[in-house]
Structure formats: C-alpha cells, structure tokens
Amino acid sequence: MWVAWAPASPSGRALTSGSSINFDVSAALGEPASLAATYYPARTAEPGGAVLCCLPGGTYSRRYWDLRVPGHCGYSFAEFAVGNGYSVVTIDPLGTGESSKPTSDFDFTHIAAALAAAISAVPDVTCDDRPVVAVAHSLGGYLAITQQALYSSYAGLAVLGCTNKHVAPLNLSPDFIARAATPQGRATLAGDILAALPAPYFEGPRDGLQSWFHLPDVPSAVIQADSVTTKSVVPRVFGLAMIPGIVAEHAAAIDVPVLIGYGATDVSPDPRAEAAIYRNSPDLTTVILSGSAHCHNMASSRHWLWRRLLAWAATVVDAPAGQVNGRHRDSV
C-alpha cells in the first residue's frame, strides 16, 4: 500500500517533500555559517532504508539531484529515491549554492566539518533517524571522502564520477601528474594553484565541458534546464580537484562500504583500478554505466544506475554485521 510519510520537525511543522532546511554550522567553523539543504521524506513507511545525503559536484548546486525539465519526466533522483522508500537530503556544501560563502580562506577540511555538523543534526531536524548514506557526484565525492575519513558520518559512500587518479579530460601533462605522486608534491601543487586563483569565488562556465558532461543523445532541453537551474559559483579551493590523488590519503582510510560509479565517458583514466585506493573498505562495488557521460543524472541510462544504487544502499544498511566483509563486485 502506498502511504505518504511526512515526519515532523521538532517545532511540530511537517516536513513535506522539498522542505528547505538551513543547518547552522557556526560552531563547526568558528564563525556564523549555515548550509542550505532540501529534505524529501520517503513516500513509503517501509522498515529499513536509509537517508541519502546527496552532494553535488563543482559548478553545481544541490538542484542537480532534483532536476525538473518541462516536457521531460524522470530526471529527479530525489523523486526516484523517495518513491522507493528512501529519504533524501540534498545539501549545498560550504561556499556553493545557497549556503554561506565565507570571506576567509577555507579548505576541504572546513567543508567536511560543516557537512559533518549538518549530518549530525539530520535526525533531530527531520525526525528520521535511519542510517545516512552519502551519494556524492564528482567533486562532491572528494568532500564526502574527506568528511568520512575525519568524522565517520556515513554508513556507506556512493562516489560517482570522482577519480583518485588524474582527471582524464583535463589532459594534464605527464610532469604535472608525476609531481602529484607524493603528498609533498600534491601540497606544492595546491599552493601553486591557489596562488593563481586570487579571487575567493568564480563563475564555473561549462561551455567547454559539455562533450564529457553529456553524450549526444541527451535532449537539448535537458542540457538547457541543467545550465539554467543547477549552476553555482565555485570557491577557489575547488581548483585543487585537478590534482591527482588530492584526497587519496582520506580515501585509503574509509572503512565502510563504497560504491564507485562512472559513465562510459567520464573522469577516470582507469575506472576499474579506482577501487584499489579504498584499501580499508570492507565492501567495494564498481559500476560502469553504459550510455552515460559524466553527468549521470541526465543520461538516458540514469534509471539503471539509480536502481543499482538503491539496491546497493539496501545491502549497506540491512546486511548483518560481518556479512559484507572482503567483497568486490564489478557491474557494467
């Protein structure tokens, strides 16, 4: 039986689908700050399931996870998930979308601290105390990885379109890639990149990215809606995402199940080799999505990925302890 499930906030106000939330993360950052989020409660009151925390990538706001296209249906991952028993919280990370944009310098660890503070507040704010699973796209994957390594916020991580090798479409020079092979080299590159980006925020034009964001079969109306409704300014620290292995040490520390997902055209030079970096994860799944480029939620094959992701999330939150150890699976 289909039933609507609308949990109430501590104030007594029902949180209906698409309710806006502002998480106060001032204490985590030592200055006034908040993260903008949207909550979508599960439409079915079935036992089990999880809260999916969805983080967008660079140049994107949280609207990536709830794309609405006039005349075209089925592009909202949030709607798909809530119809299958999962609640969803989409969040604009610090410095993006409608979240606070500090004027002082901040890095991935500050963003992770703010996200951890927000996730810790989810049960009280939503009255939904189910386990939280991260679903992070592109640069959002670096943020979720950093957050999990430092704060253990999630029961599992789905890291989509995010590489711990070099970003293949950037055509980085062999010398640049070689310099990033050590922590010291990555730190030096980070200093060079930040010095070359004096403005704290900049616009993130996508015109030169469309060939690896979308395959030719994505309708022009979908690309237009994506360009108009999901854009965000980019904090300069996001420039560090071009450094191969920028969060490799954090990825190696992850000790929960991880799903790694890529489109057939995507950022990783070797998708099936990515799992090796997560050497402390007890359960690794690699998914290669045919019929998709980097922006999986606009691909013609998106629903296959979404079904696969929800099935994986069910194993993360429902499997008894000790039954998910030592597994690695590939899906194509």
| 210-238 tens-digit pLDDT | 899 999 999 999 999 999 999 999 999 99
- Find the Cα–Cα–Cα–Cα dihedral 101, 88, 143, 320, rounded to 10°: 150
Neighbours of 190 (CB within 10 A): 17
Residue with tokens 């939620």: 297
Q: Which of 128, 99, 103, 133 is nearest to 114 (CA)?
A: 99
The tens digit of pLDDT for each residue in 255-304 reads 999 999 999 999 999 999 999 999 999 999 999 999 999 999 999 999 99
* Predicted confidence (pLDDT) per residue in 107-160, tens digit: 999 999 999 999 999 999 999 999 999 999 999 999 999 999 999 999 999 999
Structure tokens at 273: 């080799």
| Domain architecture of the chain: domains with CATH | 19-331 (3.40.50.1820)
User: Please, what is the average pLDDT of the chain?
Assistant: 91
